[in-house]
Amino acid sequence: MNFKMETHSIESEPPVIELEGEVDVYTAPQLKQQMINLLESGAKELIVDLTKVDYLDSTALGVLIGGLKRMREREGNMVLVCPSPRILRVFEITGLDKIFEIYHSLEDANESMGKESG
């Protein structure tokens, strides 16, 4: 099983959860727990970086939707970074590209978050 998750936090910027490898039924619970931890620590905004993700299944999509829902319940927001056409296609097929704000780079995502809170 090929999966890595790192969380980066820079002051004045939203935390970034960087995922790598396969996000599926086995690894998605780790992502869910990390999102909950960040919410409980007071994060209002979150960026999930899917740049290095090779595979995303329905469980992973469910966890992402749940994370977005929790953020919005607290008047926050969560955006995705997804430059991969193959992974992006999953969001398009499921219609989730209309629910999530999806950016091609971390810089674009950070910029958009700055505009929202400013």
**Whether residue 34 has pLDDT greater than 90:** yes
Tell me the CA distances in angstroms from 65 to 6, 68, 80, 111, one per residue in order: 20, 5, 11, 22
Give the pLDDT score at 38: 96
Cβ-based neighbours of 108, under 8 Å, separated by 6 or more? 81
Q: What is the pLDDT of residues 51-99, one digit of tens each?
A: 999 999 999 999 999 999 999 999 999 999 999 999 999 999 999 999 9
The full set of domain ranges for the chain reads 16-113
Total-model pTM? 0.95
Dig out the tokens for 98 from the structure. 């209309």
Length of the chain: 118
The class (CATH top level) of 16-113 is: alpha beta
What mean pLDDT, rounded, does the chain reach? Answer: 94
CB 44 within 8 A of CB 76: yes
Give the span between the Cα atoms of 105 and 36, in whole angstroms. 24
Element (H, E) at 22: strand 16-23
